[in-house]
């Protein structure tokens, strides 16, 4: 499961921009073939993406946001991503289980044609459905569990608000339902923690921080980013604090000692610790040691 915090979008238009993004503090980058590229430049953008993957493979995880499955571009986008070593793809307008199964089965086919070891459906290649419509939210439970290649879900608040006709507000109350449903679906499907939407106002640092805090409190584990200036805040917010890490290590140490003596419930600093609390602490320690 992914422990990435920041996913930096970079348009597949200029190689220099992608190189700069790779050198940033982003945990990973997403080369964007969809919204950031006009129709007339889709083919040339894909060529830049291919060159970038070949040149920068191994520098850090690189994902590709493909064009949506209603377009004539998506299959070649995925094929090129697989053949040139992308970590995975982000799938816009993900709206149904059938759509995800069809896409993932194509991925299996292309992967197995390159390496027979992938024929059983296991792969390091991730498929990240982007939930950004009412249909996507309605069917998110089925989407999350549609295929073993689905590693995380991501949310697109801007397209979602346009689809349902709501107004995005600083308080974000209009997004509590879709955000919560995505978190629950991710957990129920036992996939990685979900990724929150981009924050479009680059001049509003406070707004970015407040939105990231809200989504983290709901259970999101990372955030989509549109500019490197947003990285420091997001990386800090989605990482456990030094105090949280210290407490988690103490809980893990004390509980594992107690477990050896047959105890499954103890008190650490006045707090009851049982298996659920221990597992959460272990998760925090694992994240720091990643």
Going by pLDDT thresholds of 50, 70 and 90, the confidence category of residue 237 is very high
Are both 95 and 216 inside the same structural domain? yes
Are both 221 and 79 inside the same structural domain? yes
Asked whether residue 203 is assigned to any structural domain, the reply reads yes
pLDDT at residue 265 in the model: 83
135 or 15: which carries more pLDDT confidence? 135
Write out the chain in H/E/C secondary structure.
CCCCCEEEEEECCCHHHHHHHHCCCCCEEEEECCCCCCHHHHHHHHHHHHHHHHHHCCCCCEEEECCCCCCCCHHHHHHHHHHCCCCEEEECCCCCHHHHHHHHHHHHHHHHHHCHHHCCCCCCCEEEEEECCHHHHHCHHHHHCCCCCECCCEECHHHHHHHHCCCCCCCCHHHHHHHHHHHHHHHHCCCCCCEECCCCCCCCHHHHHHHHHHHHHHCCCEEEECCHHHHHHHHHHCCCCHHHHHHHHHHHHHHHHHHHCCCCCEEECCEEECHHHHHHHHHHHHHHCC
What mean pLDDT is reported for the chain? 90
* Count of structural domains within the chain: 2
Are both 128 and 259 inside the same structural domain? no
pLDDT at residue 258 in the model: 85
pLDDT at residue 282 in the model: 77
For 241, residues 6+ apart whose C-beta sits below 8 A from its C-beta are none
Residues 120 and 108: their CA atoms lie apart, in Å, by 8
For residue 9 the two structure tokens come to 């979008």
Asked whether residue 1 is assigned to any structural domain, the reply reads no
pLDDT at residue 287 in the model: 63
Which of 114-128, 157-171, 178-192 is least confident? 114-128
pLDDT digits (tens, 9 = 90+) for 5-33: 999 999 998 889 999 999 999 999 999 99
Asked whether residue 89 is assigned to any structural domain, the reply reads yes
Going by pLDDT thresholds of 50, 70 and 90, the confidence category of residue 116 is very low
Are both 86 and 46 inside the same structural domain? yes
Domain holding 139, by residue range, is 6-237
Q: How many CB atoms lie within 10 A of CB 18?
A: 24
For residue 89 the two structure tokens come to 């793809």
pLDDT at residue 177 in the model: 98
Are both 133 and 35 inside the same structural domain? yes
Residues 132 and 141: their CA atoms lie apart, in Å, by 14
pLDDT at residue 247 in the model: 84
**CATH number, domain containing residue 158:** 3.20.20.60
Residue 123 has pLDDT above 70, yes or no: no
118 or 164: which carries more pLDDT confidence? 164
Are both 57 and 121 inside the same structural domain? yes
Of all residues in the chain, what percent carry a pLDDT higher than 90?
Answer: 69
pLDDT at residue 250 in the model: 84
Q: What is the mean pLDDT of residues 221-238?
A: 95
Asked whether residue 217 is assigned to any structural domain, the reply reads yes
pLDDT at residue 284 in the model: 72
Residue 163 has pLDDT above 50, yes or no: yes
Are both 232 and 270 inside the same structural domain? no
284 or 265: which carries more pLDDT confidence? 265
Are both 192 and 108 inside the same structural domain? yes
């Amino acid at each position: 499961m992914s422990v990435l915090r920041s996913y930096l979008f970079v348009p597949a238009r200029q190689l220099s921009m992608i190189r700069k993004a790779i050198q940033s503090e982003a945990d990973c980058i997403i080369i964007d073939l969809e919204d950031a590229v006009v129709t007339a430049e889709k083919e040339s953008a894909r060529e830049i993406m291919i060159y970038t993957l070949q040149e920068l493979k191994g520098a850090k995880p690189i994902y590709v946001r493909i064009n949506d499955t209603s377009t004539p571009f998506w299959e070649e986008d995925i094929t090129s991503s697989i053949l040139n070593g992308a970590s995975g793809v982000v799938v816009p307008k993900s709206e149904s289980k059938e759509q995800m199964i069809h896409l993932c089965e194509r991925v299996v086919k292309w992967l197995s044609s390159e390496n027979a070891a992938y024929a059983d459906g296991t792969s390091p290649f991730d498929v990240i459905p982007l939930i950004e419509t009412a249909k996507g939210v309605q069917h998110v439970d089925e989407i999350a569990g549609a295929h073993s290649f689905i590693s995380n879900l991501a949310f697109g608040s801007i397209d979602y608000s346009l689809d349902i006709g709501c107004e995005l507000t600083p308080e974000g109350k209009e997004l509590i339902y879709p955000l919560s449903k995505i978190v629950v679906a991710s957990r129920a499907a036992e996939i990685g923690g979900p990724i929150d939407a981009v924050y479009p106002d680059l001049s509003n640092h406070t707004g970015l921080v407040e939105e990231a805090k809200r989504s983290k409190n709901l259970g999101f584990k990372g955030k989509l980013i549109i500019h490197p200036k947003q990285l420091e805040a997001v990386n800090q917010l989605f990482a456990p604090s030094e105090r949280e890490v210290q407490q988690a290590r103490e809980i893990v140490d004390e509980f594992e000692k107690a477990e050896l003596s047959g105890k499954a419930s103890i008190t650490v600093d006045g707090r009851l610790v049982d298996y659920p609390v221990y597992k959460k602490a272990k998760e925090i320690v694992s994240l720091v040691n990643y």
